[in-house]
Amino acid sequence: MALPVVAIVGRPNVGKSTIFNEMAGDRISIVEDTPGVTRDRIYTRAEWLTHEFRLIDTGGIDMGDEPFMNQIVQQAEIAIDEADVIVFMVSAKEGLTESDERVAKILYRTDKPVILAVNKVDNPEKRAEIYDFYALGFGDPYPISGTHRTGVGDLLDRIVAEFPDVQTEEEDDAIRFSLIGRPNVGKSSIVNALLGEERVIVSDIAGTTRDAIDTKFTTPDGDEFVMVDTAGIRKRGKVYENTEKYSVMRAMRAIDDSNVVLMVLNAEEGIRDQDKHVAGYAHEAGRAIVIVVNKWDTLEKDTYTMNEFEQHIRNEFQYLSYAPIIFVSAKTKQRLNKLPELIKQVDENHKRRIQSATLNEVIMDALATNPTPTVNGKRLRVYYATQVAIQPPTFVVFVNDPELMHFSYERFLENQIRKAFDFTGTPVHLIKRARK
Ligand code: GDP
Ligand code: GDP
């Protein structure tokens, strides 16, 4: 499940984000259309030939007020910490600069493969200028042009050639989950409380990169869990650790690696844009989701507090209406013992398979209660449905004309499916298709 990670580093303006977008392809994302979400992406999934990987644009991780040189040095350190392969980008237009040399010095410290890409080689004459960059000591430079989209294929060939051999991960029944949330919401306190329980058996698993360490544990009931990226949750004291962009990037990686995402909120502080951004990514990635409201001990409560808080969450995260909400305290341990069971339940729902016959009984009942609409004199006809995937459960609905099935009818069908089967905690995908 853990895909190789490629990071792009280099001083500002060499074309990192241009090349990042080129490599990412045009992945239209609902997350980015959500208001309050930052548009500039710094993390994405990408693929080249048969290889899937993750791509980080370290240039997008800004360190606030830090001086310019400190920022590029830290970005290079992030690349060394996070990546399996590093793309060091320079520019033929401006030529070799002092900042390039500064970045190079940091990159000398790593044993990881570093590939030198010279961007802005927009025409054959410019090719002569790439030779200056041999002085950086990273071997043959790869000439590319973000503007003309040239050379990127060769660069990608080289990148995928450097990927570590695919680890044959032992497939087991352990449930992979991650804890996601802003700094200080209490993630590491929850981790410590869960792992510190008596009769919980814990073992660390090394990941592909040095820092990506998962933790496996077994509950007294014998259920096995893998907590993804525990190392990222426990603070390592790096300067950049608490910057927002970095923690969002780290969260996205953990989401990609898990089946169940625990979205941790702080009862004291409520919901912020960063929470929405990350929750939107988990939803879009089709992960099972549990909303965990921590620090429940800090609120003065009456009979309405929990309902009001729940209502607030439902308003803020309308697309997560399927996610259960649990109110906990890592400090007093209130309800924390319910968490493993809840993770297990939503994981089961996430992998639930429905027999076609049973599914179609539900669809036929739905059609009887709420007949299909007519659009411009043409009536929508729904013939049958079948489940084509799990994690998340995905159904293909065969109709006469997909254009006739509007969002409201689609949502009605999804609700009927949810009424008939337990899909708590998981998104459900409906794909409409014309019957041939
Ligand atoms: P970053 O700061 O390293 O992420 O750089 P950007 O991707 O924002 O690009 C900086 C500037 O260089 C922008 O104005 C881009 O349009 C421009 N640029 C990017 N790639 C090329 C290229 O191949 N040739 C030329 N001439 N300009 C480019
Ligand atoms: P993280 O950055 O999300 O991993 O958050 P931490 O686990 O480091 O917690 C941040 C702070 O909140 C620490 O001072 C914790 O002691 C405190 N904290 C964590 N959980 C709770 C809780 O349930 N109740 C209260 N009152 N404080 C908590």
Measured in Å, residue 183 CA sits from the centre of ligand 2 at 9
289 CB contacts (<8 Å, ≥6 apart)? 260, 261, 262, 263, 279, 282, 283, 320, 322, 323, 346, 425, 426, 427
Q: What secondary structure does DSSP assign to 169-230, as a single string? A: PPP-SPEEEEEE--TTSSHHHHHHHHHHSTT-EEEEEE-SSTT-EEEEEE-TT--EEEETTH
Residues spanned by CATH 3.40.50.300 within the chain? 5-162, 175-350
Measured in Å, residue 295 CA sits from the centre of ligand 2 at 7
| pLDDT of res. 375 | 87
This prediction has a pTM of 0.86
| pLDDT of res. 424 | 98
Ligand 2 atom index nearest CA of 296 = 23
| pLDDT of res. 308 | 95
Q: Whose atoms come closest to the Cα of 189: which ligand?
A: 2
Q: Whose atoms come closest to the Cα of 87: which ligand?
A: 1
- From residue 402, give the alpha-carbon distance in Å to each of 314, 386, 387: 30, 16, 17
Protein residue closest via CA to atom 24 of ligand 2: 295
Phi, psi for 172 (deg, rounded to 5): -130, -175
d(CA 71, CA 337): 42
Ligand 1 atom index nearest CA of 144 = 23
Tell me if the bond preceding 392 is cis, omega within 30° of 0: yes
Protein residue closest via CA to atom 19 of ligand 1: 15
CB-defined site of ligand 2, < 6 Å: 181, 183-189, 233, 294-295, 297-298, 329-331
Spatial contact of 279 and 42, defined as CB atoms under 8 Å apart? no
CATH number of the domain at 175-350, out of 1.10.150.120, 3.10.20.600, 1.10.3720.10, 3.40.50.300?
3.40.50.300
- From residue 428, give the alpha-carbon distance in Å to each of 269, 275, 392, 416: 30, 22, 6, 12
Residue of 179, 180, 182, 184 to test ligand 2 pocket, by largest number of atoms within 8 Å of CB: 184
Tens place of pLDDT per residue across the chain (436 aa): 578 999 999 999 999 999 998 998 765 444 444 443 444 678 988 999 999 999 999 998 887 778 888 889 999 999 998 899 999 999 999 999 999 999 999 999 999 999 999 999 999 888 888 999 999 999 999 999 999 999 999 999 999 999 987 655 556 789 999 999 988 899 999 999 999 887 888 876 655 444 557 889 999 899 999 999 887 777 777 888 878 888 888 899 999 999 999 999 999 988 888 888 899 999 999 999 999 999 999 999 899 999 999 999 999 999 999 999 999 999 999 999 999 999 999 999 999 999 999 999 999 999 999 999 998 899 999 999 999 999 999 999 999 999 999 999 999 999 999 999 999 999 999 999 998 6
Residues spanned by CATH 3.30.300.20 within the chain? 356-434
339 CB contacts (<8 Å, ≥6 apart)? 190, 194, 262, 290, 292, 326, 328
d(CA 193, CA 340): 12
The verdict on the CB of residue 75 being under 6 Å from ligand 1 is no
Measured in Å, residue 266 CA sits from the centre of ligand 2 at 9
C-alpha dihedral (319, 392, 7, 83), degrees to nearest 10: 130
Measured in Å, residue 93 CA sits from the centre of ligand 1 at 10
What's the CATH architecture for 5-162? Answer: 3-Layer(aba) Sandwich (3.40)
266 CB contacts (<8 Å, ≥6 apart)? 181, 182, 184, 185, 186, 293, 294, 295
Ligand 1 atom index nearest CA of 10 = 3
CATH 3.30.70.20 for domain 356-434? no
Residue of 18, 22, 87, 125 to test ligand 1 pocket, by largest number of atoms within 8 Å of CB: 18
Protein residue closest via CA to atom 22 of ligand 2: 295
Measured in Å, residue 147 CA sits from the centre of ligand 2 at 47
Q: Which residues are annotated binding-site positions for GTP? A: 10-17, 57-61, 119-122, 181-188, 229-233, 294-297
Q: Which residues are annotated binding-site positions? A: 10-17, 57-61, 119-122, 181-188, 229-233, 294-297
Ligand 1 atom index nearest CA of 59 = 4
